[in-house]
Amino acid sequence: MGSSYHQFCPVAKAMELFDERWTMLLVRELVLGSERFNDLRRGLPRMSPSLLSTRLHQLTTAGIVRRVTDGRDVRYVLTPAGRDLESVVDALGDWGSRWTGRLGDEDLDPKLLMWDMHRHVDRSAIPQERVVVHFAFTDAPLGSRRWWLVVTADDVDVCDVDPGFEVSVAVTAELRALTEIWRGERCWSDVLRSGAAVIDGPVTLRRTLPDWFVSPLVAKSGR
């Protein structure tokens, strides 16, 4: 009964694959461009390495992911079937932002926020060859309050240790306030006026910094 039901019910067959814990979050990371094991781990820091390996193997077996090797370099690339899941990931994100309610304090994570922001930088909006943005979260745990984004024409790097470059502009903010901006729940101007965030640096950089980051949630909501 079960096997024949799955044969004639595509939803049930798909759910058999995707109802495993972390699987859809892993697909989201792959959709957003992470391909290497360590990058996937940085995007899913609460997922154990062994479970990540297991889920990647399952997705590869299912034809969702293709393992590409070049010498010692290993990448995990979405197949056409995997790329077709982008609309599913987007729909789940839209639904979650609309119906799951306000984030609890336990959901706030500076590491995840910085990782997501670093891959949604509009490098064409950066006015200099290299910009270093220092983020300081006033209410984050002591070991994760300070972060740096190093933005060049070719790359964006996120660091939790001072990279040694001169800081171009600094953002001091409440973690919740910046997270709510990123989720499209508040706008930069309101947060700055409230004092929940302060931007320090040359006036040109202070004024343009909000435009350097393009949150996918804000883009979809039109806010």
pLDDT tens-digit map of 150-185: 999 888 999 999 999 999 999 999 999 999 999 888
% residues pLDDT > 90 (the chain): 57
* pLDDT tens-digit map of 92-132: 877 877 777 667 777 789 998 999 899 889 988 888 889 99
Confidence of residue 9 (pLDDT cuts 50, 70, 90): low
Transcribe the chain into DSSP letters: -HHHHHHH-HHHHHHHHHTSTTHHHHHHHHHTT--SHHHHHHHSTTS-HHHHHHHHHHHHHTTSEEEEEETTEEEEEE-HHHHTTHHHHHHHHHHHHHHS-SPPGGG--HHHHHHHHHTTB-GGG--SSEEEEEEEETTS-GGGSEEEEEEESS-EEEESS--SSPPSEEEEE-HHHHHHHHTTSS-HHHHHHHTSEEEES-HHHHHHHHHHB--HHHHHHT-
